[in-house]
Amino acid sequence: MIQRFFILCSGADASILETCSQGERNKYAGIGATVFFTAVMAFLAAGYALYTVFDNVYTALGFGLVWGLLIFNLDRFIVSTIKKRNSFRSEFLQATPRLLLAVIIAVVISKPLEMKIFEKEIDQVLLEQKNELTLANKEQIALQYSPLVADLEQDIVQLKEEVASKEAETNALYDTYISEAEGRAGTMLLGKGPVYKEKREKHDAALLELRELKSDNAERIAAIEGQISKLNTEYETAVVNSQPIIDGFDGLMARINALGELAWFPSFFIFLLFLAIETAPIVVKLLAPKGPYDFKLEEEESTVEAWVTQKVSQRQHIMATDAVLNEKIYGEIQEEERVYAHKKQKAEELLRLQADAFHELQVKGL
């Protein structure tokens, strides 16, 4: 039963193989087994590839099954349409388009399985790419907020410098009126005279202005720091909101590109393995000698071809004979019509002559 199933997979005519030897049936069962297991690998490869796209097991299995059946049908068609000829060159030319198609199928099948085999290495490459994308994303988002934050921080620096300048001025006035009181500067008189009072009043006025300036600038600095904090919060929110996009950077195309970042040598030999599996049925049919099945199939096809050719030739002869007969019959009918028209014309002329003679007799009798 298994042999019959694999013969069915090979696309060979089971009724002809039943009349062949066991070895011939085993050969085509082996070809059919290769076609079947190639379709199974295509199903697994497509299922995994589509799972990375849809992230749903049932959807991946459904589309994978359709793809596996498609590959099975293509391989079965390729193998079944290769006919053994008397010349290897003609057989190879006949199989060339099918070999190219087999190469394409091998590439399609091997890539998803390569991604599964090298999954850990691909994950490492994707992790590095995600880290690079995360840093680049933060830098790009920071470009939107950094100039604003820098301007606000510069405003804070100016406000603090303004307070520091006013504080230095107030301290200088303090040193001035203290020096005046101690007799170290100004009037050089020890004690608190009118000049001392004047300088003290200037200091007290400057100190009051300093306190007001500190209070006003502190409020302004607090407001600016609130704006900076708000911008920093917006920046962090933008980074957090964009991070899931980067975390989801592991789709089919990303994994194929990551696979391309790995060493080509192992991947290339896996491709060669699948290429050998995919082209095995075709190569076997090309290299295998012409067997009993091929002779019987050729005999059956040549019988049908001869019968069809004979039928076509008979129909052509019948049509040619009918054309000759029709031409002859219609030619005779046309000749008879001309004779009839001539006799009718002579009869009409004779009747007119008789009528004219009878008319003359009547006239004479009158």
The kind and range of the H/E element at 196 are helix 194-247
From the number of C-beta atoms within 10 Å of its C-beta (0-12, 13-18, 19+), residue 3 rates as middle
Residue type at position 158: Q
**Do residues 133 and 258 lie in contact, with contact meaning Cβ atoms separated by under 8 Å?**
no
Nearest to 157, CA basis, from 220, 210, 212: 220
What's the pLDDT band for 23 if we cut at 50, 70, 90? confident
Q: Is the pLDDT of residue 356 over 60?
A: yes
The kind and range of the H/E element at 24 are helix 22-54
What local confidence, expressed as pLDDT, does residue 188 receive? Answer: 56
For the segment 80-106, the average pLDDT, to the nearest whole number, is 74
What local confidence, expressed as pLDDT, does residue 298 receive? Answer: 66
For the segment 253-259, the average pLDDT, to the nearest whole number, is 79
What local confidence, expressed as pLDDT, does residue 185 receive? Answer: 56
The kind and range of the H/E element at 335 are helix 292-365
Alpha carbon distance 31, 278 (integer Å): 11
Q: What is the mean pLDDT of the chain?
A: 77
**Do residues 270 and 106 lie in contact, with contact meaning Cβ atoms separated by under 8 Å?**
no
For the segment 7-30, the average pLDDT, to the nearest whole number, is 78
**What angle in degrees, to the nearest 10, is found between the helix axes of 57-80 and 264-287?**
40
What's the pLDDT band for 145 if we cut at 50, 70, 90? confident
Alpha carbon distance 285, 73 (integer Å): 18
What's the pLDDT band for 345 if we cut at 50, 70, 90? confident
Q: pTM here? A: 0.50
Q: How much of the chain, in percent, has pLDDT values that exceed 90? A: 0
Long-range (24+ apart) CB contacts under 8 A made by 196-203 are 199/173, 202/173, 202/177, 203/170, 203/173, 203/174, 203/176, 203/177
